[in-house]
Amino acid sequence: MYCSVHCWLYRCLCQWSKIGWCHVGWCTFDGVVEYVKTTISSWLAKLKSDVATCVEQGGDETQVQAIISKANVEIERQLKSTCDKTKNTGVSSTVKEQIIASTEWAKKTALESSAQVQTVSVEVINAGGDKSATVVEGRLAGLIESTKEKVH
């Protein structure tokens, strides 16, 4: 995706054009939104896998909570960086406000989802029975997909 005529003409390969932003300060709303969607989707997949592995290996509530906390810090860092970069672009204040509001909403949705992941994981831990990664991921799949749909 090229975010400007400049990037298209010069085949810009900087990190900004890869996420729909250009290093010369231009920005597209759609490019940033797509970046946020992709970031959250990847984060959710990793969170699901990490929690499922932890539970399968006999992890307890404290270990699941530690995984969730670490994941939350990471998504907050990534999305704060997105907002900070947006603030420093040369686009109109209206576009900046839209991008920042959308990113903050997506972050809130992701953090709510991680709290639900923790709740479901603790239920699996306390329920007894099969705690294989496949079972845990199955229990989390609907929740994860629901969050992805909200963000997308």
What pLDDT, on a 0 to 100 scale, did the predictor assign at position 27?
Answer: 53
Report pLDDT digits (tens) over 52-86: 999 999 999 999 999 999 999 999 999 998 888 88
Closest CA to 117 of 50, 41, 37: 50
CA 129 to chain CA mean position, Å: 31
**Residues in the chain with pLDDT values less than 70:** 1-29
How many CA atoms does the CB half-sphere of 121 hold within 13 Å? 31
Q: Which two tokens stand for residue 29?
A: 């709303």
What pLDDT, on a 0 to 100 scale, did the predictor assign at position 143?
Answer: 86
What pLDDT, on a 0 to 100 scale, did the predictor assign at position 29?
Answer: 67
- The Cα 137–Cα 22 span in angstroms is 38
